[in-house]
Amino acid sequence: MYSDVYYHRTTRAVDLQMREIFEDTMAELLPEDPRRRLDQYLEITEWFLLQKVLEWAAPGRRGVTPKQRELGRRWRDILDRRVKWKMAYDYVATMNEAHQVMDFWKPDTLKEAIRQQLPPRLRKTAFEVDMATQDPRPLNPLAEGGKTVNVFNPATGEVSPRALREFFKDVPAKVAHYRVFAPDHRHDPELAQATELALHAGRPEAYETNL
């Protein structure tokens, strides 16, 4: 659910695309300090934002500045699902692997490490790093003590209790999802290899890339 729904690659790619224009969009919608104009700030709902950016994108709309028209165009791309970023690399690490994977807690730190691992001719290539922390385990089984749940066996028709912690022993308590996005797929192999080297620097065994 986390990887395929909440943190789906397209969702994360759209988040990156939106992040590029959101600050400028808010500056156009409310150029003043929100703390001094709370009345106007409260009016800027999601629906208000979408309505305004669509007005900016409308051809021939009067009173729209060139900057607003450009922002409207880029919002139109998002709303029409013209996603700018394509996934070049995908890796999920459990917290149990934290001692084997270099500690990259910020995307910018990993991004710089990847850039240093790229061939010199590609070090100016545009790419973005996305990091998402997942907490897939619904509860901490260790805190449940000896709590049990009844399990039905359809083969025998019997119901027997089983320790709750058995059901979650193979579910990681927390995982980190690393993705690298680029404008196209031309340099996927190089980006994947550079990311592997950056993430697993000094690690004896190699992990296969999941493209």
Side chain identity, residue 80:
D
pLDDT at 147 > cutoff 90: no
Residues 6+ apart with CB under 8 A from 91: 177, 178, 179, 195, 196, 199, 207, 209, 210
Q: Which pLDDT tens digit goes with each residue over 82-123?
A: 999 999 999 888 766 655 555 566 889 899 999 999 999 999
Residues 6+ apart with CB under 8 A from 143: none
Give domain limits for the chain.
2-79, 86-136+172-199
101, 199 contact by CB (below 8 A): yes
86, 182 contact by CB (below 8 A): yes
Give 61 or 149, the one with higher predicted confidence. Answer: 61
Extract the tokens encoding 18: 């939106």
**Bridge-partner residues for 149, per DSSP?**
162
**Terminal Cα-to-Cα distance of the chain (whole angstroms):** 19
Q: Which pLDDT tens digit goes with each residue over 153-200?
A: 888 888 888 776 676 665 555 678 899 999 999 999 999 999 999 988
